[in-house]
Amino acid sequence: MTIDDIQKLIDQDESVTLELKKTTGELKDAMHTACAFLNTDGGWLIFGVTPTSRRILGQDVNDNTQREISQALSGLEPAVEVKINYYDVPESDGKKLIAIYFDAFVWGHEPYTYVGKPYYRVESTTKQMPRELFEERLRAHHPDFYAWERRKADGIGMRDLNEDRIRGALRLGAEGGRVPDSVLTEPLKSVLDKLQLLSSDGQPNNAAAMLFTKNEKGYYPQFTIQMARFRGTDKNEFIDNQRSYGNFFDLLDAGMAFCFKHLSFSGKITGIRREVHLEVPVAALREALINARCHRHWEEYNAFVGIAIYDDRVEVFNPGALPHGMTPENIKDPHGSFPYNPIIANVLFKTTFLESWGSGVHRIVDACQAQGLPSPVWSIDKGMVSVTFQRLNYDPTTTQVKGKKDPSTIQVPSKYDPSTIQARSKHDPSTPQVPPKYPSTTPQLPPKYHPSTPQVQLLIDKMKSGYMSTNDIMESCGLKDRKYFRESYIVPSLIDNAIERKYPNEPNHPRQMYRLTKQALEWKKSQED
């Protein structure tokens, strides 16, 4: 590069990749910028230029000058090798221009510091790097050392893990073809080891604790979900305010149950079918809650995943940051998967709670669009990442939400079962696999109940008295796809209060069974009369 090339560079003015200094008397401040260049997009540091007028003045350079520059560069860690360029300034009586280029940061490399502090570049300004960004880069460079999920769990042993939860999740993975059937009978410790859920001494790590710890263990305050229903469109007054503590599955239960409690259902009749939808799609809310816990920064022990329901919107938020290179503006563009907690993400994928890696955003958007809702909006504010869903029933002229739940058709179950909802686009939940039975005459129906969907009606018609296993009910209905059966038959029937569990407090009990409720039996009897 010649002095003319440098002049053209200077003429572009200071930017994210260019910093001008009058003399090396500003070395300390200049090294902050050098560190920022190394942590951002690279850039030129040039001495001997007036920043305001961009006039090349040059400066005297001697052995002491070169030594001072070398000593200043030694304050950068890790060490850098750079070429220091000296250019003669025409008609300046021996003065020189000093130009140093610093390479751009490469993701996965160790972040740079100057005298122990990291810096980065924002437009033409040098700033100290936020702790969250610095830690994220450390994790990317040394995941085994810095990753929270890999550390040994504090106060949690094998006996403190919920084996029923583990076995239930593995069963879903085997049914989905993501883990071999052999894991269902393999010793628990061996399975956890293969899933990278054990520390080096064979004890559960933090990832295992987050996923499967028992509720009574309260060592981790971040294993909390905060939920609130506010009146109006701000936080001035709340109607309901709750907190739940537990493992991943417990909190998914709690979050979905809270949404079922405070969001409205709507239905439309198409021909002989009635389709019922939650005003914000169940699949979108579920995916948002899963992603929130999968990608949260667990080191933030005093911040929580949360749900905030307003009259006009629903917000799901978590402590953390978007992956490197991803912004609220481009998050909906096609992208790969960059999970902040890859061990947790892998377990959730293998147990079918996560679909194909990197598809979460698109699944949320597609679910909203399929139901006629605007695309949700992602944002970052004060260390929290949030996704906001619009509520279409909101009327700003009255500050009220139109419509209410129809108690004759929709009832919220006492316990939401996360293992029963697996959204599958290839299936149409509004279309039953077997044509439902309809009476030739109009029966006298109980005034307070009617099945909300043809699938619920078919299930009630086919179920016998007493408890039945999932396999027995599927066989009675003539169905073979277990996941579709859960999504389209079991879950709507639980919401409808048409069936009840044998073990209501343990949705994933290995010997779980179902029976018709009193109101379903009454309705079925009226159909037969």
For 6-46, write each residue's pLDDT tens digit: 888 898 889 999 999 999 999 999 999 999 999 999 999 99
For residue 71, the domain's CATH number is 3.30.950.30
Q: What pLDDT, on a 0 to 100 scale, did the predictor assign at position 437? A: 36
8 and 117 share one domain = yes
435 and 522 share one domain = yes
Q: Of all helices (H) and strands (E), which one includes residue 238?
A: strand 238-245
Which range in 138-147, 272-281, 475-484 is most confidently predicted, on average pLDDT? 475-484
106 and 27 share one domain = yes
What is the per-residue pLDDT across 312-334, written as a single tens digit (0 to 9) for each?
A: 999 999 988 777 667 777 777 76
- Residue 275 — pLDDT band, cuts 50, 70, 90? low
124 and 166 share one domain = no
Domain membership of residue 88 (yes or no) is yes
27 and 91 share one domain = yes
Of 101, 129, 157, which residue constitutes the final position of a domain?
129
Q: Of all helices (H) and strands (E), which one includes residue 515?
A: strand 514-516
Work out whether the CA dihedral 402, 406, 409, 414 comes out positive or negative: positive
Question: Strand 238-245 relative to strand 265-270: parallel, antiparallel, unpaired?
Answer: unpaired
115 and 52 share one domain = yes
Greatest Cα pair distance, the chain, in angstroms, is: 111
Domain membership of residue 189 (yes or no) is yes
> With contact defined as beta carbons under 8 Å apart, do 365 and 376 qualify?
yes
Of 197, 212, 227, which residue constitutes the final position of a domain?
212
Instruction: Give the position of tokens 């990291």.
Output: 118
Q: What pLDDT, on a 0 to 100 scale, did the predictor assign at position 274? A: 56
- Residue 353 — pLDDT band, cuts 50, 70, 90? confident
Q: Which of 83, 101, 115, 85 is nearest to 38 (CA)?
A: 101
First to last CA, the chain: 94
Report the domain count for the chain: 3
* Integer Cα distance of 73 and 79 in angstroms: 8
Question: What percentage of the chain carries pLDDT values higher than 90?
Answer: 40
441 and 509 share one domain = yes
28 and 105 share one domain = yes
Counting every residue, how long is the chain?
529
Q: Which domain holds residue 72?
A: 3-129
For residue 523, the domain's CATH number is 1.10.10
Q: What pLDDT, on a 0 to 100 scale, did the predictor assign at position 477? A: 85
What is the per-residue pLDDT across 411-458, written as a single tens digit (0 to 9) for each?
A: 344 333 433 333 333 333 333 333 333 333 333 433 457 787 778 888
Q: What pLDDT, on a 0 to 100 scale, did the predictor assign at position 506? A: 76
> With contact defined as beta carbons under 8 Å apart, do 293 and 318 qualify?
yes
Work out whether the CA dihedral 441, 442, 446, 450 comes out positive or negative: positive
123 and 189 share one domain = no
182 and 97 share one domain = no
Q: Of all helices (H) and strands (E), which one includes residue 60?
A: none
Domain membership of residue 172 (yes or no) is yes
Domain membership of residue 180 (yes or no) is yes
Domain membership of residue 295 (yes or no) is no
* Integer Cα distance of 312 and 229 in angstroms: 11
Burial class (CB in 10 A: 0-12, 13-18, 19+), 424: middle
68 and 183 share one domain = no
> With contact defined as beta carbons under 8 Å apart, do 15 and 125 qualify?
no
Domain membership of residue 65 (yes or no) is yes
> With contact defined as beta carbons under 8 Å apart, do 252 and 305 qualify?
no
Q: What pLDDT, on a 0 to 100 scale, did the predictor assign at position 387? A: 94
Distances (CA, A) of 114 to 30, 195, 303: 11, 39, 30
- Average pLDDT over all residues of the chain: 82
- Distance between alpha carbon 109 and the CA centroid of its chain, in Å? 25
| Higher-pLDDT residue of 528, 165 | 165
Of 212, 245, 267, which residue constitutes the final position of a domain?
212
Domain membership of residue 336 (yes or no) is no
* Integer Cα distance of 460 and 420 in angstroms: 18
Phi, psi of 435 (to 5 degrees): -55, 130
> With contact defined as beta carbons under 8 Å apart, do 311 and 232 qualify?
yes
Q: Which of 88, 480, 527, 135 is nearest to 319 (CA)?
A: 135
Q: What pLDDT, on a 0 to 100 scale, did the predictor assign at position 270? A: 57
What is the per-residue pLDDT across 377-415, written as a single tens digit (0 to 9) for each?
A: 999 888 899 999 999 777 666 545 544 443 333 334 433
Q: What pLDDT, on a 0 to 100 scale, did the predictor assign at position 409? A: 36
Q: What pLDDT, on a 0 to 100 scale, did the predictor assign at position 371? A: 85
469 and 529 share one domain = yes
Domain membership of residue 307 (yes or no) is no
